[in-house]
Homo-oligomer: A and B are copies of this chain.
Amino acid sequence: MAHPRLSLNQWTTRRWSLPEAIDGCARHGIGGIGVWREKLAEVPAAEARSRLEDAGLTVTSLCRGGFLTDTTTHTTALDDNRRAVDEAVAIGADLLVLVMGGLPNDSTDLAAARTAARNGLDALAPYAIDAGVRLALEPLHPMYAADRCVLSTLRQAVEWAEPFAPDAVGVCVDTFHIWWDPDVGQAIAEIGSADRLATYQVCDFLVPLPADVLLGRGYVGDGVIDFESLTRSVAATGYDGFVEVEIFNAEVWADDPDTVLTTVSERFDRLVAPYL
């Protein structure tokens, strides 16, 4: 049996369809799953929900909405985000992770992109609140600030969440993105004090990074992150929810997903669970 707080973020087993990932979690005794919309789209939502329920799986997040930095596509992006909220409701997920988006094409106006993202959040939040789906702001590593996410630190995420109720907008703490931050311990404590720690995601930071830096995420223990100190900071906030393992890595994706889950579970038991 896997640790009771382990959740599989399904992009870790990207080769698997959602039904295959659900069956895989069952085989490995994993109790939570972070569902990706790309995989959910392949299955009727009602079927997905009944499969998830039959397997006794908690949906720990739906990944993902966001991409709200381009004012020229704001309306389309907001429509898509509202659909994401609907999908979360349909499968019983109470959390939607948001990746806010990078600089619009040919723009270098980072301040404007950040303002657009905050305006998008303003526009989306009421719909999510009505639906009972919490939004999780995920700061991404600064190396993705231009092409993926202008929200770059936990402190910045706290600031962006502040106008909203804690159960409306929380923060996703992903070790890969925030381990380097000189303020990380204090920032996690502040997120906890504000009741905004929405989810904790773990994977390691590989050195050297691969050619595609998006795929520099490794199994816990294969990189440079100190999981003890980060996990202790999260535990100190009182967070008692699931911990998602989310790995983007070409070699992991090429491997047999059952082998991957065995490694994920073993590393979690040894390097994360003791500090939860």
Q: Which residues of A contact B (CB under 8 A)?
A: 103, 108-111, 114, 141-143, 145-147, 152-153, 155-156, 179-182, 205, 207-209, 211-213, 223-226, 229
Contacts and interface: CB of A to CB of B under 8 A. Distances in A.
Nearest to A112: B226
Contact of A143 (B147, B155, B211, B213): B213
Contacts of A226: 108-111
A143 B225 contact: no
A180 B108 contact: no
Contacts of A213: 143, 208-209, 213
Contacts of A152: 180-182
B207 A146 contact: yes
B141 A143 contact: yes
27 contacts: A103-B224, A108-B225, A108-B226, A109-B226, A110-B224, A111-B226, A111-B229, A141-B142, A142-B142, A142-B180, A142-B181, A143-B143, A143-B209, A143-B213, A146-B205, A146-B207, A146-B223, A146-B224, A152-B181, A152-B182, A153-B181, A155-B182, A156-B182, A208-B212, A208-B213, A209-B213, A213-B213
Contacts of A146: 180, 205, 207, 223-224
Given A109-B226, A153-B181, 14 more contacts: A108-B225, A110-B180, A110-B224, A141-B143, A142-B143, A142-B180, A143-B213, A145-B179, A146-B205, A146-B224, A147-B207, A152-B181, A156-B182, A213-B213
Closest 3 CB pairs between A and B?
A145-B180, A211-B211, A146-B224
Contacts of A212: 208
Contacts of A145: 179-180
Contacts of A143: 141-143, 209, 213
Which residue, A109, A152, A180, A208, has most C-beta atoms of chain B within 10 A?
Answer: A180
